[in-house]
Structure 1
Amino acid sequence: MKTKFGSLFCFTAVVLTFFVSLSAEANTFPADETLPVQHLIQKGGYTLYIRHGEATIGQDRPDISFMDCTTQRNLSDDGRRQARAVGDFLRKNNIPIEYPVGASPYCRTMETAAIAVGKENVIPVPVLAKAVRLNDAATPAEERRQIISDITRLLEAMPVAGSSLTQTSSPTNIHRCIRRPRSWHFS
């Protein structure tokens, strides 16, 4: 993948998590409200990082298999509505997307992406699932560095001119893979 490293801030991919959560009462974006980033992302040139929709309560089984959705938490009905709302937002606002859209191989992230942009436009990106290993104290330091490096490279890939790359995953530790200016503050 071709990457570009900015000399000023060393942050090249603007990651927009405009799908952190939608309230249970409002499963669509307000029609008369413009998101502050909307006009920027309409021009393309960004990596759009979309969190998967609301999942069912519980935990993934220890013997999780990405090929068997019964071993993991899946989207709830609200999560499916949220995914439709994201897809509707992207289409309604003419947000240019570079296909295929990458998604973590967890069923809930693949389904979120498939509902939002169409199943035929989604491919699994296994490295996104490795972010959960960053939570495990038993993960060796070298493996942690490699995971961070791999995900950072993915998020910093330059999209085709006039479009945006889209990745769908869980927010788990993804912040460790994003280089940002020191002046940015997150609460």
Structure 2
Amino acid sequence: MRRRALMIVAAATPWPARATTEDDIAARLAAGGAVMAFRHALAPGTYDPPGFRLDDCSTQRNLNDQGRAQAQRIGEWFRRRGLVPAAVRSSPWCRCLDTARLAFGRADPWAALGSPRAAADAASDASGDGLRRALVAATARRGRFEVWVSHQFVLSALVGGATASGEGLLLDAASDGTPRILGRLAIE
């Protein structure tokens, strides 16, 4: 019975319930009511060095040449399909801002997307509720989509799964506000 109900819901929407191909993802983004949440592009290493500062990129772990090229390929993927996000929100960390700016030409820093400083902080991160509320609001707006650029720990806390560097998660929210992954976009 449950499976049948899910199939009916999927059939009633103009896009697949689960976007499995790049064309499915593009169609779902074009329809709007979604968020594409990216983990920042390749920035080798783990964590930031001790004493890093958000206002000084030279103290942070940053994109390397491969990461910058990956971010540009992400943007090219969107441009080839004529997909323009209504908003591009980013963690204030330089690797996220750089990913967003290289891909989309802009980035609005948003502290809620900022990285917890240790894996244990992710579970108790107060921004999680704010992200879920923002996801509900963003996915309620048909005809537009947003791009968010963040970190492994933030996305993992939001959706309960891992993402690779530069990987995008096509998200919407269930009626109870629970984030749902509709598809994954990996641009190497």
Q: Which TM-score applies when normalising by structure 2?
A: 0.66
Give the equivalent residue in structure 2 for 1:86: 74
- 1:99-118 to structure 2, matched below 5 A, reads 99=87, 101-118=88-105
Identify if the C-alpha distance between structure 1 residues 36 and 129 changes in structure 2 by more than 3 Å, giving closer, same or farther: same
- Which of 120, 130, 144 aligns to 1:163? It is 144
How far the C-alpha of 1:42 sits from its partner, in A, is 2.0
Give the equivalent residue in structure 1 for 2:83: 95
- d(CA) in 2 for partners of 1:171, 1:154: 18
Give the equivalent residue in structure 2 for 1:68: 56
- d(CA) in 1 for partners of 2:154, 2:47: 17
Amino acid in structure 2 at the alignment position of 1:151: L
> Percent identity among equivalent residues?
27
How far the C-alpha of 1:34 sits from its partner, in A, is 4.2
Identify if the C-alpha distance between structure 1 residues 52 and 42 changes in structure 2 by more than 3 Å, giving closer, same or farther: same
User: More helix per residue: 1 or 2?
Assistant: 2
Unaligned 5+ runs, structure 1: 1-7, 9-15, 19-32, 182-187
How far the C-alpha of 1:157 sits from its partner, in A, is 2.4
Unaligned 5+ runs, structure 2: 1-8, 10-17, 160-177, 181-188
Please state whether the residue corresponding to 1:168 is helix, strand or coil.
strand
How far the C-alpha of 1:47 sits from its partner, in A, is 0.7
Please state whether the residue corresponding to 1:95 is helix, strand or coil.
coil
How far the C-alpha of 1:58 sits from its partner, in A, is 5.4
Amino acid in structure 1 at the alignment position of 2:75: G
Give the equivalent residue in structure 2 for 1:26: none
How far the C-alpha of 1:177 sits from its partner, in A, is 2.3
RMSD value, Cα = 2.9
How far the C-alpha of 1:173 sits from its partner, in A, is 4.2
- Which of 10, 15, 25 aligns to 1:37? It is 25
Aligned residues: 144
Identify if the C-alpha distance between structure 1 residues 135 and 56 changes in structure 2 by more than 3 Å, giving closer, same or farther: closer
Amino acid in structure 2 at the alignment position of 1:135: A
